[in-house]
Homo-oligomer: A and B are copies of this chain.
Amino acid sequence: MTFYQRLRFIQRKSNSLLCIGLDSDIRKIPRSLLKHRNPIYQFNKKIIGATKDLVCAYKLNLAFYEAIGKQGWGTMHRTLSLIPDDVLTIGDAKRGDIGTTAELYAKSLMVDYAFDACTVNPYLGEDSVLPFLKNKYQGAFILALTSNPGANDFQYLNTQGRPLYEHVISKVRKWNSKKNCGLVIGATRPSDLKRARKLAPEMPILIPGIGAQAGNVELAVRYGCDGKGELAILNAGRSILYASHQADFAKAARAAALKLRGEINSYRGKLFP
Contact = CB atoms under 8 A, between A and B. Distances in A.
Interface of A: 23, 61, 63-64, 66-67, 69-70, 72-74, 94-99, 101-102, 104-105, 107-108, 112, 121-129, 143, 146-155, 157-160, 164, 167-168, 171
Contact of A101 (B63, B70, B129): B63
B122 A149 contact: no
Contacts of A74: 70
Contact of A96 (B72, B96, B149, B158): B96
A126 B149 contact: yes
A159 B150 contact: no
A154 B70 contact: no
A127 B154 contact: no
Contacts of A146: 98, 123-124
Given A121-B96, A148-B124, A159-B159, A61 B153 contact: no
Q: Which 4 A-B pairs have the closest CB atoms?
A: A125-B150, A125-B153, A98-B148, A63-B104
B99 A150 contact: yes
A168 B123 CA distance: 11
Contacts of A73: 69-70, 72-73
A149 B167 contact: no
7 contacts: A23-B101, A66-B108, A69-B112, A73-B73, A98-B148, A157-B164, A158-B159
